[in-house]
Amino acid sequence: MTDLDSRGALRAPAVQWPTVSPVNDDLPSPAPDAWRGPRPGVAAGRGVSPSRARVKPPVPATGAWREGDPVGGRQFADVGTFDLESGARLPDVRVAYETWGTLAPDGSNAVLVLHALTGDSHVSGPAGEGHASAGWWQSLVGPGAPIDTDRWFVVAPNVLGGCQGTTGPASTAPDGRPWGSRFPRVTTRDQVAVEIELARSLGVTSWAFVVGASMGGHRVLEWALLGPESGIDVVSLAAIATTAQTTGDQIAWAHPQLGAVRADPGYRGGDYYDAADGDGPHVGLGIARQIAHATYRSARELDDRFGRLPQGGEDPFTDGRYAVQSYLDHHGDKLARRFDANSYVVLTESMLTHDLGRDRGGVEAALAQVTAHALVVAVDSDRLFLPADCARIAAGIPGAEPLRTLVSDFGHDGFLIEFDQLGPIVADFLGERASVRD
């Protein structure tokens, strides 16, 4: 019999949706219903049953490390005042960093690890007081790991403009208030200039190996030129999932992320550090992270993993979400709780300045000046820093090995996930350098 509603119209059949259950593995997964409270713009109890929802604590105005917070494994170096490329002067710069291993008497075993956009100095080691999560690359760095801290003296600084102990917008300015909106723009070269002073303070006159991926790879390439110019040799390097020059496509992806943060009323032009929990720029920062995260993963992975499946207990035909939307919501919330909106803006804008060829006769001319033995690694499914970007680096550095490529469904994030491929590549490369030195 035809199913009619009270007005005599055909009643739409109830949609029977398959669902996605959260996966308990090492990869980020869709947020379980129990992890989240009501979504912005959705009344409490709609979309998620109140009996299943558990409201999270409000998001703090900033997830930055602040003076008085637990130090964890951080060490600090005061490296002075810097005249930045913007023309601004930044006084009393402090660098937070971590080290592993022991510097050899002749200084020949120093390794510099440079983090990506939302990373920090905690490359290796457990979560604990001062560190909300375990080291982001500890499969690669540690005792017996490819970068073996029983052999190498490893240094990992938090980048200038960051929010985990190095001078940045959340840091205290000379007047006793947070820098906030007054923090100047910084470039990739400014960041490396600060890291050069850190190296000097540590007594490092030569890096046996400088390695980084994504934004960290930008600094690796600048180190290859600025280091030797400053009297600090770079013997070998690894530039992973990165580029020698930020492209129009990469700038385009960054633009709406910056707009999302700045459009949040809680951003207050960058001066929000005295805001109450829940009243900071977490919505804008979360949206920025969602945009970015979509570029960090491949279309193949998102479609194979989520497709058009709804989040469990929700109906996308009413006010519910698809599972991939829940996944992005989870990652936006997660970053907003551990990072700082101003640092996100400052570091994203620093990435836009990256151009190894600026004032050096172009990218190819600059790459040709690199004297370090180079390893360049691409991810085949990377849609942020394309394999072609990496191929350009490998082709341009005279001492570069042939381009190595990780085969991965995970896109740009493959450099964090595909350890079974990346680890042996790095170990073999360092083994070659050791045999040359010996």
Any residues with CB less than 8 A from the CB of 227 and at least 6 apart, and which?
Answer: 192, 196, 199, 207, 210, 233, 234
Cα separation, 122 vs 158, in Å, equals: 9
Distances in Å between the Cα of 175 and the Cα atoms of 79, 163, 271 are 19, 19, 15
The single residue of 121, 382, 389, 408 carrying the catalytic annotation is 382
C-alpha dihedral over 180, 259, 195, 183, to 10 degrees? -20
- Tell me whether residue 412 is one of the annotated catalytic residues: yes
Three-state DSSP at 401 gives coil
| Nearest by Cα to 158 from 130, 181, 180 | 130
Cα separation, 77 vs 102, in Å, equals: 18
User: What tokens were used for 95?
Assistant: 């660098």
- Residue 289, annotated as binding a ligand: yes
- Tell me whether residue 255 is one of the annotated catalytic residues: no
The single residue of 122, 330, 354, 412 carrying the catalytic annotation is 412
Q: At what angle do helices 215-229 and 341-352 cross, to 10 degrees?
A: 60
| Nearest by Cα to 288 from 325, 258, 251, 248 | 258
- Residue 413, annotated as binding a ligand: yes
| Nearest by Cα to 82 from 228, 183, 219 | 183
- Tell me whether residue 214 is one of the annotated catalytic residues: yes
The single residue of 214, 236, 298, 326 carrying the catalytic annotation is 214
Q: What residues are labeled active site? A: 214, 382, 412
Q: Which residues are annotated as a binding site?
A: 289, 413
Annotated binding site for substrate: 289, 413
